[in-house]
Amino acid sequence: MEIREYNPSDESGWVRCRVLSFLDTAYFDNVLKEKEKYDNPSIELVAVEEEQIVGILDIEYEAKEGTVCSRGTGLGGMIWHIAVHPDFRRRGIGTLLLKKAEQLSKEKGLNRLEAWTRDDEWVNNWYEKSGFLNVESYLHVYLDGGEELKGNIKSEVPELYPVHTFAHYVGVEKESIKGKFNRVHECICFEKMLT
């Protein structure tokens, strides 16, 4: 297996790997049709085995403090994507990608990495085993259909009726919100200091 920089010719394999990797997670419906491009500098890596992209890792990083990350001081990097194709999991690919990304991040003068993910226990365990700390969270709330939307969401545009809504809840009554709606995910910020 090879860990290398992403090339534009990798896009189709990158998208395929990301889609398949996310299917059995809380992000199952966060489907991209093309690879994101970043406004700031980035570290973009792929893991390749048998001429197939089996792992991805993208970090957009700060050249100026406070332009990418949501917390901390100094220059940080935001992990936007880290995923391993389901047929290649449990082989250390995610850890190898992260190790290479940390090396490159240090070379670029970054002092920390930040990653936001949802409440998949196995994903959160991986971040913690990789030296990240759970530093804050808020809720991703999906409102679907009449009863969940009624009294909670309305349109001010005449004759426009919301059918599905995605919302962020940043308040303190998390348990109340979790009990009120069918699909609620905790969105957790993990942070790792690079020393």
Query: pLDDT for 116-147, tens place per residue?
Result: 999 999 999 999 999 999 999 999 999 988 78
CA distance 179 to 144: 15
Q: Which residues fall within 8 angstroms of residue 75, CB to CB, at 6 or more apart? A: 61, 62, 63, 65, 108, 109, 110, 111
Counting every residue, how long is the chain?
A: 195
Instruction: Read off the pLDDT of each residue in 27-33 and give the average, rounded to a whole number.
Output: 93
Q: What is the pLDDT, as a whole number, of residue 93?
A: 98
DSSP state of 136: E
CA distance 65 to 21: 31
Query: pLDDT for 43-91, tens place per residue?
Result: 999 999 999 999 999 999 999 999 999 988 999 999 999 999 999 999 9
| Residue 8 predicted with pLDDT over 80 | yes
Residue 11's pLDDT band (cuts 50, 70, 90):
very high
Three-state DSSP class for residue 67: coil
| Residue 20 predicted with pLDDT over 80 | yes
Query: pLDDT for 161-184, tens place per residue?
Result: 899 999 999 999 999 999 999 999
- Domains in the chain, ordered, with CATH? 2-130 (3.40.630.30)
What global pTM score does this model have?
A: 0.93
